[in-house]
Amino acid sequence: MPTLVEVARHAGVTPATVSNVLRNRGRVGDATRERVLAAIATLGYTPHLSARALAEGRAPTIALMVSSIANPFYPEFALAVENALRRSGQFLIICNTDGDPQTGRAYLDQIAGTLSAGVLVMNANLDFADLRATERRGAPVVLCMWERPHAEPGLPCVAVDFRLAGELAAAHLLSLGHRRIGVIVGSKPSGIHAARYEGFLDAMRAAALDGTAAPVRYARDTTQGGHDAALELLQTHPDLTALFTTNDLPALGAMQAAADLGLDVPRQLSVVGITDIRLARESRPALTTVAVPTVEAAELAVALLRELIEAPDGAAGVGRESRMCVASAPRLVIRASTGPVASGALR
């Protein structure tokens, strides 16, 4: 592969000049520029990105930490991230942590600041201490989907109002006349989906109902998890007419459980999810859900990270941990998995 020096020789200039035309650093005469460009073209020269990274003190890559890229939501997000990065000439390294903080730390230690200029964190079960350490080593970190716009995580983040998402989903069910609603939370009790559950409780309260009386199950954030939880819920509470689920994947699982039980969705049971992953649209019946601004969040996250990376070390200090972008509000998407509560007791 040709190097910049060869291009320079070919064009009869010095490396510095080639570098200048490459980076549009003004200081080059038109004739010279032409010659350099010609040399670049005939030699088929491409900058050596690793060399450039070293010289600039900044790699052109950023790392996306996820627990597993195979979780159906993450690829949609990763795609949006990659698109945003590509537009700004950066590259995406995918780091699967398998939900294991150790693996996450190993990744951070190895690449943050040396191979990637910054880190995007998408629900990867990382230690906050490790993330802080990463920042201290000079690689900014941003949390991609912080669920509580009204509580600072202590790390730069883009926030999405998932409490509101929960509220909208629940309100939708209530407006259809449902009162006996089962809840499936796709995380541990005080885990990542807690805000969504709070939204449910808020909606119930607003309707003068006691949300805490609604039966709830905590499940893994997977189809299977939702399936099993729904099965249990429906069997122990045969009077339920609707299921509020804190994420689409378990909601889809819940619909399968209903199918397994011979229950018609939405005639006998309504199911609502949160996020609006592609599968939600493609399931039968199509899933009613609360759409979250995935692409917008990805773009905000990339923009914020860029800012932090480019900020002079000093400037980053103050208020760095208080950098929070709030993405636009979630909105209800009514599809086929929810309907009015049956007049007669169907079940």
Partner DNA sequence: CTGAAAGCGCTAACAT
Partner DNA sequence: ATGTTAGCGCTTTCAG
d(CA 22, CA 20): 5
Closest C-alpha among 219, 244, 241, 222 to residue 232: 219
CB of 107 to a second copy, least distance (A): 8
Q: Which of residues 129-168 bind a second copy (CB under 8 A)?
A: 137-138
Q: Which does 102 bind (CB under 5 to 8 A by kind): a second copy, DNA, none?
A: none
CA-wise closest residue to 216 among 195, 256, 189, 178: 189
Q: Cβ neighbours of residue 336 under 8 Å, at least 6 residues apart?
A: 265, 266, 284, 285, 286, 287, 288
What does residue 288 show for φ and ψ, rounded to 5 degrees?
-75, 135
125 binds, among a second copy, DNA, none (CB under 5 to 8 A by kind): none
Is there binding between residue 137 and DNA (CB under 7 A)?
no
CB 272 within 8 A of CB 330: no
Does residue 47 touch DNA according to CB under 7 A? yes
Q: How many residues bind DNA (CB under 7 A)?
A: 31
Contact 71, 77 (CB under 8 A): no
Closest separation between CB of residue 133 and a second copy, Å?
8
Helix (H, G, I), strand (E, B) or coil at 138: coil
Nearer to a second copy, 185 or 280 (CB): 280
Alpha-carbon span 16 to 312, nearest angstrom: 25
Q: Out of 39, 43, 52, 118, point to the residue binding DNA (CB under 7 A).
A: 52
Among 46, 102, 235, 236, binds a second copy (CB under 8 A): 46
Taking CB under 7 A as the binding criterion, the range among 8-16, 189-197, 222-230, 287-295 that sits at the site for DNA is 8-16
**The tokens of 135 are what?**
């920042």
For residues 5 and 54, which CB has a smaller minimum distance to a second copy in the complex?
A: 54
**Considering the complex, what minimum distance in angstroms separates the CB of residue 88 from a second copy?**
13
- In the list 9, 22, 32, 76, the residue contacting a second copy (rule: CB under 8 A) is 76
φ/ψ region of 152 (left if φ > 0, alpha if ψ in -120 to 50, else beta) reads beta
What is d(CA 79, CA 266) in angstroms, rounded to the nearest whole number? 32
Which one-letter amino acid corresponds to residue 31? A
Amino acid letter, residue 196: R
Question: Residues 260-299 vs a second copy: string with x where CB under 8 A?
Answer: x-----------------xx--x-x---------------
**Interface map 14-33 toward DNA (x if CB under 7 A):** xxxx-xx-xx-xxxxx-xxx
Contact between 25 and a second copy by CB under 8 A: the answer reads: no
Cα-Cα-Cα-Cα dihedral sign, residues 81, 130, 190, 98: positive
> Phi and psi at residue 9, in whole multiples of 5°?
-60, -50
Interface positions with a second copy (CB under 8 A) = 1, 46-51, 53-54, 59-61, 68-72, 74-76, 78-79, 82-83, 86, 91-96, 109-111, 113-115, 137-138, 223-224, 252-253, 255-256, 259-260, 278-279, 282, 284
Interface positions with DNA (CB under 7 A) = 1, 3-5, 12-17, 19-20, 22-23, 25-29, 31-33, 45, 47-48, 51-52, 54-57
